[in-house]
Chains A and B, each alone.
Chain A
Amino acid sequence: MLKNYLKVAWKVLLRRKFFTFISLFGISFTLMVLVVATSLFDHAFGPQMPERETDRILFVNMMREQGKEGYTSSGPISYYFYDRNIRPLKTPEMISVNSMFFQVNSYINNRKLALDIKYTDRAFWDILDFHFLEGNAFTQQDVKNANRVAVINEHTRQQYFGDAPALGQDIVVDQVKYKVVGVVENVPVLRVQSYADVWVPVTLKSQDFNKPGLRGTYFATIKARQPGDIPKIKAEYAAMMQVLERQQPNKETRLFSFPDTFLESFARTLLGKGQEPGLGILYTILAGLAFLFMLLPTINLVNINISRIMERSSEIGVRKAFGATSKTIIGQFIIENIFLTLLGGLLGFVLSSAVLWLINDSGIIVYAALGLNLRVFATGLLLCLVFGLISGVYPAYKMSRLHAVEALKGGSK
Chain B
Amino acid sequence: MIRHLFKLIWNRKKSNFLLITEIFFCFLVLFGVLSLVFYNVRNYTKPLGFEHENVWLLTMQTATDSAALNHQNQEQVLQRVRSFPEVEYAALTSSNAPFSFSQMNNVFSAGSVKGIQADVYEVQDDFKDVLQLQLSQGRWFGVQDNASNHEPIVINRAMQQKLFGQEDALGKLIQVNDTTNFQVVGVTDYFRAGSEYAAEEPACFTRINFEKNPTYFWNELLIRVKPGTGIDFEEKMVKELAGIGKGWTLEVSTLEKMRQNKAKLTMIPMIALGLVCGFLILNVALGLFGVLWYNISRRNSEIGLRRALGAASGQIYRQFIGEVLVLATFGLLLGVVFAVQFPLLHVFQVEPEVYVTALLCAVVLIYLLTTACALYPSRQAAIIQPATALHEE
**Do the beta carbons of B290 and A211 come within 8 Å of each other?**
no
Shortest beta-carbon distance from B300 to chain A in Å:
12
Shortest beta-carbon distance from B315 to chain A in Å:
24
**Do the beta carbons of A112 and B287 come within 8 Å of each other?**
no
Whole-angstrom distance between the alpha carbons of A25 and B284 in the complex? 11
Kindly supply a per-residue 1/0 record for chain B positions 252-289, scoring 1 wherever the CB is within 8 Å of any chain A CB and 0 otherwise. 11000000000000001000000010011001101100
The answer to the question of B250 belonging to the interface, with a C-beta cut-off of 8 Å to chain A, is yes
Shortest beta-carbon distance from B380 to chain A in Å:
13
8 Å CB contacts to B: which residues of A2-50?
Answer: 18-19, 21-22, 25-26, 29-30, 33
**Do the beta carbons of B291 and A303 come within 8 Å of each other?**
yes
Of all chain B residues, the one with the shortest Cβ separation from A114 is B253
**Do the beta carbons of B19 and A307 come within 8 Å of each other?**
no
Whole-angstrom distance between the alpha carbons of A413 and B12 in the complex? 8
| Contact A110/B231 with A25-B283, A102-B249, A300-B284 known, Cβ cut-off 8 Å | yes
Of all chain B residues, the one with the shortest Cβ separation from A22 is B286
Interface residue from B15, B22, B231, B232 paired with A300 (Cβ < 8 Å): B22
Whole-angstrom distance between the alpha carbons of A297 and B235 in the complex? 55
**Do the beta carbons of A299 and B22 come within 8 Å of each other?**
yes
Of all chain A residues, the one with the shortest Cβ separation from B276 is A33
| Contact A306/B18 with A18-B290, A105-B238, A110-B231 known, Cβ cut-off 8 Å | yes
**Do the beta carbons of A26 and B231 come within 8 Å of each other?**
no
8 Å CB contacts to A: which residues of B291-318?
Answer: 291, 293-295, 298
Number of chain A residues close to chain B: CB under 8 A = 38
Shortest beta-carbon distance from B17 to chain A in Å:
10
Of all chain A residues, the one with the shortest Cβ separation from B59 is A103
**Do the beta carbons of B65 and A303 come within 8 Å of each other?**
no
8 Å CB contacts to B: which residues of A128-149?
Answer: none
Whole-angstrom distance between the alpha carbons of A19 and B26 in the complex? 20
Residues of B within 8 A of A295 (CB): 25
Whole-angstrom distance between the alpha carbons of A25 and B25 in the complex? 19
Residues of A within 8 A of B231 (CB): 107, 110-112
Kindly supply a per-residue 1/0 record for chain B positions 364-379, scoring 1 wherever the CB is within 8 Å of any chain A CB and 0 otherwise. 0000000000000000
The answer to the question of A276 belonging to the interface, with a C-beta cut-off of 8 Å to chain B, is no
**Do the beta carbons of A103 and B251 come within 8 Å of each other?**
yes
Of all chain A residues, the one with the shortest Cβ separation from B12 is A413
Question: A residues engaging B (CB < 8 A)?
Answer: 18-19, 21-22, 25-26, 29-30, 33, 102-105, 107, 110-112, 114, 174-175, 207, 211, 293, 295-297, 299-304, 306-307, 310-311, 364, 413
Question: B residues engaging A (CB < 8 A)?
Answer: 12, 15, 18-19, 21-22, 25-26, 29, 61, 63-65, 231-232, 234-235, 238-239, 242, 249-253, 268, 276, 279-280, 283-284, 286-287, 290-291, 293-295, 298
- If A102-B249, A295-B25, A296-B284 are given as contacts, then 5 extra A-B residue pairs at C-beta distance below 8 Å, sorted by A number, are A25-B283, A25-B286, A107-B231, A111-B231, A301-B287
User: What are 18 A-B pairs at a CB distance below 8 A?
Assistant: A19-B294, A22-B283, A22-B290, A25-B283, A29-B283, A102-B251, A111-B231, A112-B234, A174-B250, A175-B242, A175-B250, A296-B26, A300-B284, A300-B287, A304-B287, A307-B291, A307-B294, A413-B12
Q: Top 5 A-B pairs ranked by shortest CB distance?
A: A300-B287, A307-B294, A107-B235, A22-B286, A175-B242
